[in-house]
Structure 1
C-alpha cells in the first residue's frame, strides 16, 4: 500500500517541479526575467544593428560634429565629454553591447578610470568602468556593472582593461497613467554571461539621467573623457506587457 501511494505522489512531485522550471524559463508579464537564454548565441532576426562591421547607427547627443572614431568595426569614445545616442527611441527592449575599457594608472578618483556608461532611455545608467580586481568589500554602486549609485552588481565579473566584455540587458520601461508613474522600470543584466541584476526595479533616474516620464527615449553611449571602445552592439524592441 505504501509503495502504491508513494509512486503517484512521486510522479506528481516530478510534474510540479517540471512546471515550475518551465515557468521560470518563460518571460512573465511585467517582468524582465526569462527573456534571455544566455546559452544561445547570435543576434535575433529582428534585432537592429547599432555598431557593426559596416558602420554604426548612432548620432551625437548634441548638434555638433562627433569626435568618436570608427575603424574596422570598433567605435572609440574621444578624450572629451560628448555622447552618442540611438537615432530611434525605445520603450521595452533587449540590448547586447560589447565593450573594452582603458586603464588610467595612479588615478585618485576611480571613476576616472575607463569610465563610460549605457544610459537606458537617457535615464538609467548601467555603469562602465575599469573595476577589475576591486574587492567585494570595497565595491561601490558607482563601479562597473552597477545601476549607477543605486545597486551594485550581484556578482563581480569585470575583466581586465583591454579585454572585450559584454552586457546583455533586458529593460521594461516604467509605466505611467498620464504623468503619474504606476510601475517602476525593471532591468535584467548579464555581464560576460553572468547574471548581475535579476529583474531589478529601478526606483528613479540615475545620476545625470533625464527625468522619468511616459515617453520612450533613445539609448545613450556615454563619452566620459576615456577612450572606451564598443563593437557588435544591437537592440531588439520588445513588448513586455
Structure 2
C-alpha cells in the first residue's frame, strides 16, 4: 500500500501498533507470577460460607436486595456460557445502585473468591459489547468489573487500565497488571480483606486489600480509604455485594471465609 499523506501514515502506524499489542498480549496463565490456586475453580476451604450453589433457593436463603431489602429478588438463574451449569445473572435495574444483591450475613476480616463472566447487553445471550458490575467489600469498597467501550475485546487493555477499569479498587487504586480475558470467558477475583480500625466515627487505620485477578496479584495489601457507593464508610461489619449495572454479568463459585 502506498501512503500518500501524513494522515494515512499516522493511521497505518496506529493500526500496526494495535495489531502488535494484541499479538503480544499474554494470557494470565502465561504471565510471570501466575498463581493457579487463586484462579478459576478454587474450592471453598473449611469454614467458608458458600452463599450460592446454583439454585434460587440458595439465593433467597443467603442474599437480599439492596438498597431495599424488602424488594423481591430480581436476579435470575441462567446457564453458563461455557457449560451446562447454572449461574447467577444480574437483572432488574437499568443503572447502578438500584437492584444490587448483598449477603444477609455481614463480615469483618475475610478471605473470599468470586468468579464472573461479562456477556454484554442483556437479553441476547451473546458475549460481546459493554458490561459493567462490581464486587464490594463490606458493601463499601468496589472491585470494578468492566469491559471497555469501543475497544478490541481480544485485548482491550493493551492500554493502561484506569481507576474505573476492571481490576481496579474503583477510583482509588489501578491494578498493577493486566489479566484480561475476553467477554464470554470466566474471570476470578480472589481477595483478602482486613477491615479498617475506627475510634467511634474516626478512622485510625484504613482497610487493607490484597487481590488476585485471574491468578495475577494486582493489589498487595493496599490501603482502602474510601467508600464508592453502598453504605457509608465506618466501623460496622457489612455484606459482600454484587452490583447490578444494567448489563449481563454472571457469577459462580462465590465463597467467603471469615478471618478471626
**TM-score, normalised via structure 1 length:** 0.75
More deviation in 53-62 or 86-95? 53-62
Equivalent position of 1:64 in the other structure: 71
Larger-Rg structure:
1
Within the candidate set 67, 74, 85, 2:87 is matched to: 74
Contact 1:141 1:147 in 2 (8 A): yes
Cα distance in 2 for partners of 1:51, 1:159 equals 23
Cα distance in 2 for partners of 1:119, 1:38 equals 18
Matching of residue 84 in structure 1 with residue 91 in structure 2: no
SS in structure 2 opposite 1:156?
Answer: coil
Length, aligned pairs only: 196
Contact 1:117 1:127 in 2 (8 A): yes
Cα distance in 1 for partners of 2:184, 2:157 equals 20
More deviation in 77-86 or 160-169? 77-86
Within the candidate set 195, 203, 220, 1:181 is matched to: 203
Q: Deviations over 1:54-105 (max 9, x none)?
A: 433221111211221024530101152411100111010111101001135x
Contact 2:37 2:215 in 1 (8 A): no
**TM-score, normalised via structure 2 length:** 0.70
Gaps (5+ residues) in structure 1? 1-35, 105-111
Q: How does 1:113-128 map to 2 (within 5 A)?
A: 113-128=130-145
Query: What RMSD in Å do the two structures reach over aligned CA positions?
Result: 2.2
Q: Deviations over 1:166-225 (max 9, x none)?
A: 10011001111222211000000001111011111112222x232211111111110100
SS in structure 2 opposite 1:189?
Answer: strand
Cα distance in 1 for partners of 2:100, 2:215 equals 26
Q: How does 1:1-241 map to 2 (within 5 A)?
A: 38=38, 41-54=42-55, 55-56=58-59, 57-61=62-66, 62=68, 63-71=70-78, 72-78=85-91, 80=93, 81-103=98-120, 113-131=130-148, 133-206=155-228, 208-239=229-260
Question: Residues 184 and 144 (structure 1 numbering): CA distance in 2 closer, same or farther, change over 3 Å?
Answer: same
Gaps (5+ residues) in structure 2? 1-35, 79-84, 122-128
Cα distance in 2 for partners of 1:58, 1:159 equals 28
